Amino acid sequence: MIIRSGVLLLVTLGLGACSSGGSSSSGTGSLPVSDDPVFGGEGTVSTPDAESDAPSGGTAGAGAPTDAELQATDGVVIIEQAAALVPGRWAHTRPGSQCLQTVSFSVDGIFEERELDKVAGGFYDFTDDDGGTEINYAYTADNGRVDCFGDNEPLVEEGVTFGNHISFPDRDTMTLSLRPNGRGFARDFTRQ
């Protein structure tokens, strides 16, 4: 992965190492235009409701490994397993501030995240990486409001993707980390 400016950026979805190029997104084209006031009103790009295509009942999709299988691999998953586990709504509460971050992933590669006043989203996909699977985010919409870090810097930048290593200690816990297997700085999200 090429890391922009040699710096790892902390982004709202977790830890997000930033890179330009090298990653393909699951979706194509731009997201629909919305009159949603959260995104600033008429003519503003927004993400579709990512929860609409999520598995119902807050459960992992077909083909997802069992908790026993995840424990046997220390939570490391291959791309197909990640694709079965990720769709749905996930939440993380930041220690200290108690700021709630939620992210919804659809089965067709669209995500939407919400935290504090920020709403952002775009497309996601997976890549095989040494020691595990990486989830990559290409932001296409951001309302520019303040997130849990106190930042209002827009995340949308043409040709730039953010990525995290992804692992699952169990089917209802998703760990995003800077290094494979949940090592290094990591953040756990729980299935909602």
Per-residue pLDDT at 58: 67
Q: Is the pLDDT assigned to residue 128 strictly greater than 90?
A: yes
Q: pLDDT confidence of 52, banded at 50, 70, 90?
A: very low
Give the tens place of pLDDT for each residue, 17-33: 444 443 333 333 333 33
Mean pLDDT score, 76-80:
94
The region that residue 87 occupies, defined by phi over 0 for left and psi between -120 and 50 for alpha, beta otherwise, is beta
If you write DSSP's letter for every residue of 144-173 in order, what string do you get?
Answer: ----TTS-------TTEEEEEEEEEEETTE
Asked if residues 115 and 97 have their Cβ atoms less than 8 Å apart, the reply is no
Higher pLDDT pick, 5 / 123: 123
Q: List the one residue out of 100, 89, 110, 114 whose CA is nearest residue 191.
A: 89
Q: List the one residue out of 22, 18, 24 whose CA is nearest residue 5.
A: 18
Cα–Cα dist 33/139, whole Å: 15
Map out the domains of the chain with their CATH numbers. Answer: 65-141+154-192 (2.40.128.370)
Q: Is the pLDDT assigned to residue 68 strictly greater than 80?
A: yes
Place of tokens 């691999």: 73
